[in-house]
């Protein structure tokens, strides 16, 4: 599954991260299956996973959990 992060929306309160929405699109190599949406993350889940490479893996894991 090829995943592309489209945007990361961070909600702050009192200058601290409250939660994050990671918007993505994904498809298989033949583009027969398409998925899009967002994965909600807590501030704790986002901390340390800010890079696009790491967020992509978080999205892959969370999407798989949701679909199973």
Compare 67 and 34 and report the one with higher pLDDT: 34
Distance of alpha carbon 31 from its chain centroid, rounded?
Answer: 20
pTM: 0.90
**What's the 3-state SS for 2-56?**
EEEEEEEEEEEECCEEEEEEEEEEEECCCCCCEEEEEEEEEHHHHCCCCCHHHHH
Residue 19 is encoded by which pair of tokens? 């939660």
10-62: pLDDT as tens digits: 999 999 999 999 999 999 999 999 999 999 999 999 999 999 999 999 999 99
pLDDT of residue 59: 97
Nearest one of 4, 54, 5 to 27, comparing CA atoms: 4
Compare 67 and 54 and report the one with higher pLDDT: 54
pLDDT of residue 63: 94
């Amino acid at each position: 599954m090829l995943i592309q992060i489209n945007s990361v929306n961070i909600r702050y309160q009192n200058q601290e991260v409250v939660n994050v929405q990671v918007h993505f699109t994904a498809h298989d190599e033949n583009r027969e299956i398409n998925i899009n949406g967002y994965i909600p993350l807590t501030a704790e889940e986002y901390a340390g996973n800010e890079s696009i490479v790491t967020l992509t893996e978080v999205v892959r894991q969370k999407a798989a959990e949701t679909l199973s």
